[in-house]
Amino acid sequence: MKLLLRLTLAGLLFLVFLCAAAWLSFPRYAQQLIDGALAGKPFRVTVSGIGLPSTSGVGFKSLQAVFSTPPDDCNEEATTYTLSLTNGSISWRFNNQSPDLRPKLLGLAVTLKADALTLVPNPRQFTFGDQNPQITATFAITRSNGVKLALKPLTAVYAVDGAVATREKLQLEGIHYNIRLGAATAWQQPLDTLRIARLSSDGQPAPPGNFRALFGSKRDPLNPCTLTLSGCSVELFQWMASTEQIDYNLKAKRTSFTLNLAKIPLNALPGLSQGKSNIPFATGRVSGSIPIEFQDSTITIRNAMVVAENGTNVTFCDKQKKPLFSIDMAVIKGGNELLKNLNATITFNSKEKKLSALALRDLSATLFGGKITSTPVTFDPETNSAFFTLTLKNIKLLDRLQLLGALKGNLNGGIDGTIPLSIANNNLTIQNGTLQTRGGGSVTITPPAKQQSAGERMFGQQSAEATWSFSEPQVQFSRSSDGKTTLDFKLKHLQQKNSGGELTLTSPKGRLLLWHNRLNPDLLTLSDFTTGFLDGSIALQHIDYDMVKKEGETTIQITHIPLQKILDMQGIKKIYATGHIKGDVPVKIQNESFAILDGNITSEQNGQIIYATSLEERAAANPAMRITYEVLSNLLYAQLISSINMAPDGKSLMTIQLKGANPDFQHGRPVELNLSVQQNLSDLLRSLSISSNVEQIITDKASKKKP
């Protein structure tokens, strides 16, 4: 009896030892058990870093499952998928669903958790990744015919939350979707909302975002190779676009649909909000449609259009946020929608299966009634660079321009030109872009009115309002990656009119430099400026003008200007002259005034001056006056020299020296005449008219008695 007891105890101890040994050695032979269980199956599982099991679960460092989907009518090639999990655990829970001691039905719930999940197909079309995934599957364990057990899968649930899908440089981020499969629904995924937060290219956010759609795996028997997404919406540049349905053909790898834009606020675009820091800003709404076709990693857009409703404008402001001008985006008489006939082809990968991030070709559109096209664009992911040229033809933008605030007027004409653009490391450069128009327009500038007394309003200076008209402007421009901008401009004519007269410049041209001074970005440089003026020319070699301090200094060069034109411009009616003048006039600008220091003007050649007087004037004049009249009645001058100085307050001194002879006076003996004119030129120069009291000064000079 004792021997039997000892043998029994020894047997029990052996069983305990055997179980303990099996438990301790489980991590070593677990892979062999898995391989044996999956022998002959179309998938395999590899596990490493398995921990010691418990009654409810086991942990692991990595788990890799490889399985394949065979070719079918929708996919001619087999696809192998590799599912990898790291730092995970598998837990289980049994549920007795039968009251018998030996139940015929037992429920099993298995939960798989991990730090990370990765799914990669081969051929590698994409990579799917998820953090902290949790997958739960339920099974029914049944017993029949004694002890034989059968395992039947019932459900599988996986809540995708914040996952990422990557195709080379393109990445879908923030993917949310609830996967719920079950035997009761023939393992078909029911309709659920698919959400994708954003799309990025090479780490940079792309315009599409916040995509939403209803998606399920059940297919139409008549179109078994078509996946359908319904109730789709997406944000494009913060605009909400939608389409009723997207059908994707798995066999042709093709889809086509139309995105609809319905009354989208224009200020939803970045930089167009009427916030505290955004200039310019927009008002109004736009609608449109964008037909899209996607196949073989290529998006094709055909005949897209965008129409703005009445009252849709983009307003540009100065640094003080005061409106300068606005652009009317709405449909105007005769058509001219904002944008129509937009066509483009966008490719996300090259022939070598390497994504170039974005390849754009066949871009063309009708914009503001004109045509805009682009050369092909290829973005290089290695250098983050792209180069392309935009071509504009008859873009009727000027017709939609409305001047605001102190500016009034109207502009017209279609804009033509080319803009070579280069993008590298998120910096934009333009090399020798050109813009021109055969149109023109006029702009009236009305400075803010200053408060005046009744006397000042009656006898004060003339109105400072001036109207500038121009025609056929042309500009060639370049911009470096650091923002330095160079503008070479030319106009057919530029004219200023105000209450005091008019000033016309013919064929003005020059060069403007903007943002070239890193230490003072408000510095504007004008150089090589020339213009025709009164049949002569005016030139300005260089000026640096501080747009904040309103300061600048330069020298104006005058060449070959007819003296008679100057007299006509001043409204002097009794003096007639021939000959041309030239000179240099140093000008210093400060705030709204300017000073002239030692300006000099001389005659280019001999000329004639005739001071016309009537018989009555000569009869009433004193002897000295008659002599002056006789000298100036036909003065052939050999030298004309004038100097001018003007203080910032407008007080000026102008001297004129004339040397010559009158052949009809005292046998043509030499005559020298010196004049000095003192007056306030600031108001007179604003009106472009120097006082005709020159005539009075001549009279006063001539009427002085000789000592």
pLDDT at 464 over 80: no
Other Cβ atoms less than 10 A from the Cβ of 149: the count is 10
The arithmetic mean of pLDDT across residues 695-705, rounded, is 46
**What pLDDT, on a 0 to 100 scale, did the predictor assign at position 273?**
61
**What pLDDT, on a 0 to 100 scale, did the predictor assign at position 415?**
92
List residues bridging with 413 in a β-sheet. Answer: none
SS3 helix, strand, coil % of the chain, rounded to 5?
Answer: 15, 60, 30
b/e map of 27-49 (b: 16 or more CB within 10 Å)?
A: beebeeebeeeeeeeeeebebee
The sign of the torsion formed by the CA atoms of 517, 520, 521, 527 equals negative
For the ranges 142-151, 576-585, 684-693, the maximum mean pLDDT occurs at 576-585
**What pLDDT, on a 0 to 100 scale, did the predictor assign at position 317?**
79
Task: For 37, list phi and psi in degrees, rounded to 5.
Answer: -70, -30
433 half-sphere exposure, CB direction, 13 A CA radius:
22
Q: Tens digits of per-residue pLDDT, 618-629?
A: 777 777 777 777
Lowest mean pLDDT among 324-333, 446-455, 569-578: 446-455
Structure tokens at 127: 């990579």
**What pLDDT, on a 0 to 100 scale, did the predictor assign at position 454?**
40
Distance CA 267, CA 420 (A): 28
Distance CA 604, CA 416 (A): 42
b/e map of 2-11 (b: 16 or more CB within 10 Å)?
A: eeeeeeeeee
Nearest to 208 by CA among 358, 427, 352: 358
Residue listed under structure tokens 């043998």? 7
Share of the chain above pLDDT 70, in %: 80
Spatial neighbors of 512 by CB under 8 A, at least 6 apart, are 486, 487, 489, 524, 525, 526
Distance CA 707, CA 702 (A): 13
Structure tokens at 71: 């070719």
Q: Both ends of the chain: CA-CA distance in Å? A: 169
Q: Is the pTM of this model over 0.75?
A: no
**What pLDDT, on a 0 to 100 scale, did the predictor assign at position 108?**
83
**What pLDDT, on a 0 to 100 scale, did the predictor assign at position 519?**
82
The arithmetic mean of pLDDT across residues 250-262, rounded, is 86
DSSP state of 202: T
Distance CA 519, CA 413 (A): 38
pLDDT at 357 over 70: no
**What pLDDT, on a 0 to 100 scale, did the predictor assign at position 270?**
63
Lowest mean pLDDT among 27-41, 233-247, 336-350, 538-552: 27-41
Structure confidence at residue 104 as a pLDDT band (50, 70, 90): low
Q: Tens digits of per-residue pLDDT, 370-419?
A: 999 999 988 776 667 788 999 999 998 888 888 887 778 888 889 999 99
The arithmetic mean of pLDDT across residues 14-29, rounded, is 53
pLDDT at 128 over 90: yes
H runs (alpha helix) in 636-689: 681-686
Share of the chain above pLDDT 90, in %: 21
CB 243, CB 260: distance < 8 Å: yes
DSSP state of 331: -
Q: Tens digits of per-residue pLDDT, 588-604?
A: 888 767 888 888 999 98
Q: Please count the residues of the chain.
A: 707
Structure confidence at residue 615 as a pLDDT band (50, 70, 90): confident
Structure confidence at residue 452 as a pLDDT band (50, 70, 90): very low
CA 228, distance to chain mean position in Å, is: 35
pLDDT at 564 over 90: no
Query: What's the longest Cα–Cα distance across the chain?
Result: 173
Strand ranges for 547-634 from DSSP E: 551-562, 575-577, 580-590, 593-603, 607-611
Mean pLDDT for the chain overall: 80
Distance CA 674, CA 485 (A): 49
CA angle at 660 for the pair 656 and 662, rounded to the nearest 5° = 120
Q: 3-state DSSP call for residue 222?
A: coil
Q: Tens digits of per-residue pLDDT, 33-56?
A: 677 766 777 778 888 888 777 778
The arithmetic mean of pLDDT across residues 296-323, rounded, is 84
**What pLDDT, on a 0 to 100 scale, did the predictor assign at position 447?**
66
Task: For 554, list phi and psi in degrees, rounded to 5.
Answer: -160, 180
Amino acid symbol at 148: K
Please indicate whether residue 56 or residue 97 has the higher confidence score (pLDDT): 56
pLDDT at 581 over 70: yes
Structure tokens at 55: 């009654």
CB 697, CB 673: distance < 8 Å: no
CB 243, CB 232: distance < 8 Å: yes
